[in-house]
Amino acid sequence: MITFTLNGKQVEAEEGSTILEVAQDYNVKIPTLCNHKALEPAGLCRLCTVELFDGRRTRFVTACNYPVWEDMEVKTHSEDVIGHRKMIVELLLARCPNNEFVKGLAAEFGVEAPRFKLGDDDCVLCGLCVRMCAERMGVSAISMTGRGTDMRVETPFQVKSDICQVCGACESVCPTGRIDVRKIAKYEPRPLVSDWDVGLKERGAIYMPFPQAVPLAAVIDSEACAHIRTGNCGVCKEFCEAGAIDLDQKEEIIEVEVGSIILATGYDLMDTTPMKQYGYGVYPNVFTSLEFERLSNATGPTGGNILMRNGNGELTRPPESVAILHCIGSRDENYHKYCSRVCCMYALKYAHLIKEKVGHKTPVYNFYIDLRCFGKGYEEFYRRCQEEGTIFIRGRPSEITDQALTPKEEGKLIVIGEDTLMNRPCRVAVDMVVLCAAMEARKDTAEVARIFGIIQGADGFFSEQHPKLAPLNTAMGGIFLAGACQGPKDIPDTVAQASGAAARALELAIRGTVEIPSTIAWIDPDVCEGCMTCIKVCDYSAIEFDQQRGVSVVNQTLCNGCGSCVSNCPSKAAHVWQFSEGQILTEFDGIMEGLQAVGM
Amino acid sequence: MNKLQSEKDYESVRDQVKKERDPERLLVSICAGSGCGAYGTEEVREALEKEISKNGLKRKVEVKVTGCHGFCEQGPIMVIHPEGTFYPKVKPGDIPEIVAETIVNGKVIKSKLYKDPVSKKRIAKEEDIPFYKGQHRIVFGNNGMIDPTKIDDYIAVDGYSALVKVLFSMSSEEVISAIKESGLRGRGGGGFPTGIKWETCRKAHGDIRYVMCNADEGDPGAYMDRSLLEGNPHSVLEGMIIGAYAIGSHDGFIYVRNEYPLAVKNIGIAIKQAEEYGLLGKNILGSGFDFTVKISRGGGAFICGESTALMRSLEGQVGRPRAKYIHTVDKGYRDSPSTLNNVETWANVPIIINKGAEWYASLGTERSKGTKVFSLVGKVRNTGLVEVPMGASLRTIIFDIGGGIPKKRKFKAVQTGGPSGGCIPEDLLDLPVDYQRLAEVGSIMGSGGMIVMDQDTCMVDVARYFLEFLQEESCGQCVPCREGIKRLLEILTDICAGNGREGDMELLEELSGTVSKLSLCALGGTAPNPVLSTIRYFRKEYEAHIYDKKCPSGVCKELFYYEIDEKKCNGCHICCLRCPQEAISGEKKKVHTIDQEKCIKCSICYESCKVDAVAIK
Q: What is the CATH number of the domain that holds A39?
A: 3.10.20.740
Do the Cβ atoms of B476 and A147 come within 8 Å? yes
- CB contacts < 8 Å between A and B, how many? 95
User: What is the average pLDDT value for chain B, to the nearest integer?
Assistant: 93
d(CA A119, CA B505): 22
Picking from A339-343, B313-317, B555-559, B586-590, which range would have the lowest pLDDT averaged per residue?
B586-590
Q: For residues B538 and B459, is the Cβ–Cβ distance under 8 A?
A: yes
Q: What mean pLDDT comes out for the span A285-292?
A: 96
CATH number, domain with residue B579: 3.30.70.20
d(CA A490, CA B479): 63
What's residue B1's pLDDT? Answer: 67
> Is residue A247 assigned to a domain?
no
Indicate if B171 and B274 belong to the same structural domain: yes
Indicate if A503 and A363 belong to the same structural domain: no
CATH number, domain with residue A318: 3.50.50.60
- Asked which of A109, A136, A158 is the last residue of a domain, the reply is A109
Q: CA nearest B474 in A: which residue?
A: A148
Do the Cβ atoms of A144 and B476 come within 8 Å? yes
pLDDT one-digit tens code per residue, A243-261: 999 998 888 999 999 989 9
Indicate if B346 and B246 belong to the same structural domain: yes
Indicate if A276 and A358 belong to the same structural domain: yes
Query: If DSSP states are collapsed to H, E and C, what string results for A420-450?
Result: CCCCEEEEEEECEEEEEECEEECCCHHHHHH
pLDDT band at B210 (very low <50, low <70, confident <90, very high): very high
Cβ-based interface (< 8 Å): residues of B facing A: 301, 303, 318, 322-323, 325-326, 471-480, 482-487, 490-491, 507, 510-511, 513-514, 517-520
Indicate if A72 and A100 belong to the same structural domain: yes
> Is residue B16 assigned to a domain?
no
| Number of domains present in the structure of chain B | 5
d(CA B49, CA B61): 10
d(CA A429, CA A409): 6
Q: What mean pLDDT comes out for the span B248-258?
A: 96
The torsion angles phi and psi of A466, rounded to 5 degrees, stand at -150, 130
- Asked which of A165, A184, A203 is the last residue of a domain, the reply is A184
The torsion region of residue B262 among left (phi > 0), alpha (psi -120 to 50) and beta comes to: alpha
Q: What mean pLDDT comes out for the span A128-148?
A: 95
Indicate if A340 and A377 belong to the same structural domain: yes
Q: ipTM > 0.90?
A: yes
Bond preceding residue A215 cis, omega within 30 of 0: yes
DSSP A316: E
Tell whether A194 is within 8 A of chain B (Cβ). Answer: no
CATH number, domain with residue B502: 1.20.1440.230
State percent of chain A over pLDDT 90: 85
State percent of chain B over pLDDT 70: 100
Indicate if B263 and B387 belong to the same structural domain: no
> Is residue B132 assigned to a domain?
no
pLDDT one-digit tens code per residue, B442-461: 899 988 999 999 999 999 99
What's residue A581's pLDDT? Answer: 78
Indicate if A543 and A460 belong to the same structural domain: no
> Is residue A405 assigned to a domain?
yes
CATH number, domain with residue A174: 3.30.70.20
CATH number, domain with residue B95: 3.40.30.10
Indicate if A93 and A153 belong to the same structural domain: no
The torsion angles phi and psi of A562, rounded to 5 degrees, stand at -75, -25
DSSP A588: H
Q: What mean pLDDT comes out for the span B339-365?
A: 96
CATH number, domain with residue B409: 3.10.20.600
> Is residue B538 assigned to a domain?
yes
pLDDT one-digit tens code per residue, B106-149: 899 999 999 988 888 999 998 899 999 999 999 998 988 899 99
Do the Cβ atoms of B487 and A45 come within 8 Å? no
- Asked which of B454, B478, B505 is the last residue of a domain, the reply is B454
d(CA A417, CA B377): 95
User: What is the average pLDDT value for chain A, to the nearest integer?
Assistant: 94
d(CA A295, CA A303): 8
- Asked which of B361, B380, B411 is the last residue of a domain, the reply is B361
- Asked which of B514, B546, B578 is the last residue of a domain, the reply is B546
d(CA A365, CA A355): 11
> Is residue A195 assigned to a domain?
no
Q: For residues B220 and B419, is the Cβ–Cβ distance under 8 A?
A: yes
Q: What mean pLDDT comes out for the span A182-192?
A: 91
> Is residue A160 assigned to a domain?
yes
Indicate if B331 and B417 belong to the same structural domain: no
Mark out the alpha helices in B474-565 (DSSP H runs): 479, 485-496, 504-518, 522-526, 529-537, 539-546
> Is residue B2 assigned to a domain?
no
- Asked which of A438, A472, A487 is the last residue of a domain, the reply is A438
DSSP A367: E
Q: What mean pLDDT comes out for the span A78-89?
A: 97
Do the Cβ atoms of A43 and B474 come within 8 Å? no
Q: What mean pLDDT comes out for the span A407-413?
A: 94
**What's this model's pTM, rounded to 2 decimal places?**
0.84
Indicate if A298 and A333 belong to the same structural domain: yes
pLDDT one-digit tens code per residue, B68-119: 999 998 989 999 988 889 999 999 999 999 999 998 888 999 999 999 888 8
Q: Which of B60, B4, B73, B54 is nearest to B28 (CA)?
A: B60
Do the Cβ atoms of B483 and A91 come within 8 Å? yes
> Is residue A240 assigned to a domain?
no
Indicate if A286 and A426 belong to the same structural domain: yes
> Is residue A224 assigned to a domain?
no
Indicate if B427 and B480 belong to the same structural domain: no
Do the Cβ atoms of A144 and B486 come within 8 Å? no
What's residue A249's pLDDT? Answer: 86
> Is residue B501 assigned to a domain?
yes
Indicate if B231 and B184 belong to the same structural domain: yes
> Is residue B53 assigned to a domain?
yes
Bond preceding residue B76 cis, omega within 30 of 0: yes
> Is residue B289 assigned to a domain?
yes
CATH number, domain with residue B162: 3.40.50.11540
Indicate if A89 and A27 belong to the same structural domain: yes
What's residue A518's pLDDT? Answer: 86
d(CA A415, CA A322): 10
Give the distance from residue A67's alpha carbon to the nearest chain B alpha carbon, in angstroms.
Answer: 8
Does position B579 have pLDDT exceeding 70, yes or no? yes
Indicate if A485 and A385 belong to the same structural domain: no
Domain, as residue range, for B255 = 151-361
Tell whether A97 is within 8 A of chain B (Cβ). Answer: no
Within 8 A of A115 by CB-CB distance, chain B residues are: 507
> Is residue A121 assigned to a domain?
no
Do the Cβ atoms of B486 and A60 come within 8 Å? no
Indicate if A328 and A464 belong to the same structural domain: no
Indicate if B179 and B326 belong to the same structural domain: yes
| Number of domains present in the structure of chain A | 5
Domain, as residue range, for A472 = 441-511
Indicate if B255 and B270 belong to the same structural domain: yes
d(CA A276, CA B335): 65
Strands B114-115 and B85-87: unpaired
pLDDT one-digit tens code per residue, A531-544: 999 999 998 888 99
Tell whether A69 is within 8 A of chain B (Cβ). Answer: no
> Is residue B555 assigned to a domain?
no
Q: List beta partners, residue B66.
A: B31
Q: For residues B485 and B474, is the Cβ–Cβ distance under 8 A?
A: yes
Indicate if A427 and A452 belong to the same structural domain: no
Indicate if B176 and B69 belong to the same structural domain: no
pLDDT one-digit tens code per residue, A417-457: 999 999 999 999 999 999 999 999 999 999 999 999 899 99
Q: What mean pLDDT comes out for the span A407-423?
A: 95
Indicate if B69 and B119 belong to the same structural domain: yes
Does position A480 have pLDDT exceeding 90, yes or no? yes
What's residue A14's pLDDT? Answer: 95
> Is residue A339 assigned to a domain?
yes
Do the Cβ atoms of A92 and B479 come within 8 Å? yes
d(CA A33, CA A53): 24
pLDDT one-digit tens code per residue, B260-308: 999 999 999 999 999 999 999 999 999 999 999 999 999 989 999 999 9
What's residue A285's pLDDT? Answer: 96
Does position A362 have pLDDT exceeding 70, yes or no? yes
Which of A87, A150, A151 comes nearest B514 by C-beta?
Answer: A87
pLDDT band at B401 (very low <50, low <70, confident <90, very high): very high
Indicate if B280 and B155 belong to the same structural domain: yes
Do the Cβ atoms of B519 and A150 come within 8 Å? no
